[in-house]
Structure 1
């Protein structure tokens, strides 16, 4: 991508949140049950078991997820929390309750965090101060 924008970074964080939800759950390794699986009767149905259908994440989405999560190192803890809550599409009212900010301030902090990520992704800003004479030289004249 040639030039990152705030919207493209926000979309990428949203995609990372969706991919994180599609990853398989973490399970403790080493425990096994040697009992046979319970064979349910037709009349039992699925009364007390919740079936969670998960669609597996695509390999390319997992690669982008890893890259996007590394972007969070450029932000402080509050900014990370705010960006990730917004990526999960948590409503602003709940974000304000969790962070203790009013809606407009929370939105500004979210925008500022995205601008920081965009600035890191697009590279260093040009230095215009080098063309001006140094202050110590200007005072001696």
Structure 2
């Protein structure tokens, strides 16, 4: 049984997982050959190292898919489609003022709809309406 805090934690993890995914787009050039060392300084590691991109695990991707299903349910069957947007923006650690500007509501209204949305989603998960 999930409570509202656990649901919000899982949504925040889903936003972080989504940020880890590579950008979608067509690569203009693609080559399987390794990069060639063009500079003496590159050969001996005098340049700044590039940190490796951390790829999300299969479990993180599965949890992200589950959260996206929750958000789709909330926007489809909830009273307002804004609930899912407000919850997602808040999970991305945006300020209430920023969320209010994006949604077109007052910050206090956004806080209220955030609470209603999270608690409604938690109730729907507990009742089995959302998988």
Deviations 1:97-121 (A, max 9, x none): 2122222210111111112211111
| Mapping for residues 53-132 of structure 1, pairs under 5 Å | 53-76=52-75, 77-123=81-127
Q: State the match for 1:131 in structure 2.
A: none
Deviations 1:19-64 (A, max 9, x none): 0011122232685469x95734539x68xxxx67532112211111
Distance in 2 (CA, whole Å) between partners of 1:11 and 1:32 is 38
More helix per residue: 2
Following TM superposition, by how much is the alpha carbon of 1:12 offset from its aligned partner in structure 2, in angstroms?
Answer: 0.7
Bigger Rg, structure 1 or 2: 1
* TM-score (structure 2 length as normaliser): 0.73
Distance in 1 (CA, whole Å) between partners of 2:86 and 2:127 is 24
Q: Cα RMSD over matched residues? A: 2.9
Distance in 1 (CA, whole Å) between partners of 2:40 and 2:110 is 53
Give the number of aligned pairs: 119
Does structure 2 retain, via aligned residues, the 8 Å contact 1:83–1:113? Answer: yes
* 6-15 or 111-120, which deviates more: 111-120
5+ residue gaps, structure 1, are 125-141
* TM-score (structure 1 length as normaliser): 0.69
5+ residue gaps, structure 2, are 76-80
Q: Partner of 1:75: helix, strand, or coil?
A: helix
Distance in 1 (CA, whole Å) between partners of 2:74 and 2:51 is 33
